[in-house]
Amino acid sequence: MLKFYHAPWSRSSAILWLLEELEVDYGLEIVDIREEGGAPEAYRAIQPNKKVPAIEHEDVVITERAAISIYLGDVFPNAGLAPAVGDPARGAYLSALVYHDAVFDPAVCARVHGLEYGSNDYPFGLFDDMLTYVERKLSSQPYIAGDRFTIADLQWAGGINFTMNILKALPERQIFKEYVERATDRPAFKRAQEKDAAMAAEIPFFQKMMAASEG
């Protein structure tokens, strides 16, 4: 059995979407990262920083979103969402997955928090360089890693959608809007969204936020 440690409406939502795409059986354990003090201390035995996502499969724990994505794509190849080892498309696929977590996410966080720095000050480099690169990629191909939808698009479509439409950290560009619409027009995405919303409704943090917005 595959066990999935998840916090609704968080970075782990991409893995929820992935599991829906794979159509595999999994058990789900909600980790309330938004409770006072963060996730329970016992969760450090799974993820040292008490972050999500994490999975446990055949007594092996895998953490970090890109690693989980690569692992699941390889363990469940029948879904056809990951180029196999030896496929020329695999290099671009792996690069896209890792670039999202290693460059896109930290560059966006740095921009949101007003961090001023030089390109060589941090390994993820400059926000503007990242933005130019992503725009160039999506202007030349329909999906982030090439001509076909892959697991990398689960991270990128979710990440661009959130940072552009909710966080307002990414500039609104037509190429981004079209990409998000194209990549999320899938039954598995809609199922994952519905499940995530239902789980979020049970979390005290979101209950208070929803009550405040209604008031």
For 187-206, the pLDDT digits (tens) are: 999 999 999 999 999 999 99
Q: What is the pLDDT of residues 92-123, one digit of tens each?
A: 999 999 999 999 999 999 999 999 999 999 99
Q: Per-residue pLDDT for 46 more than 90?
A: yes
**Do residues 34 and 43 lie in contact, with contact meaning Cβ atoms separated by under 8 Å?**
no
Q: Per-residue pLDDT for 22 more than 70?
A: yes
Q: Per-residue pLDDT for 215 more than 70?
A: no
Instruction: Return phi, psi of residue 157, to 5°.
Output: -65, -45
Measured from the Cβ of residue 13, the count of other Cβ atoms closer than 10 Å reads: 23
Dist. CA 94–CA 213, nearest whole Å: 40
Q: Per-residue pLDDT for 213 more than 80?
A: no
Q: What is the pLDDT of residues 123-180, one digit of tens each?
A: 999 999 999 999 999 999 999 999 999 999 999 999 999 999 999 999 999 999 999 9
> Coil, strand or helix: which one is 7?
coil
Mean of the pLDDT values across residues 65-83? Answer: 97
Measured from the Cβ of residue 214, the count of other Cβ atoms closer than 10 Å reads: 6
**Do residues 22 and 72 lie in contact, with contact meaning Cβ atoms separated by under 8 Å?**
yes
Band (pLDDT 50/70/90 cuts) for residue 209 is: confident
Taking the model in full, what pTM does it have?
0.95
Mean of the pLDDT values across residues 62-79? Answer: 97
Domains annotated for the chain, with CATH where assigned, are 2-79 (3.40.30.10), 90-184 (1.20.1050.10)
**Do residues 149 and 182 lie in contact, with contact meaning Cβ atoms separated by under 8 Å?**
no
C-alpha distances in Å from residue 118, one per residue of 92, 108, 111, 123:
27, 15, 13, 10
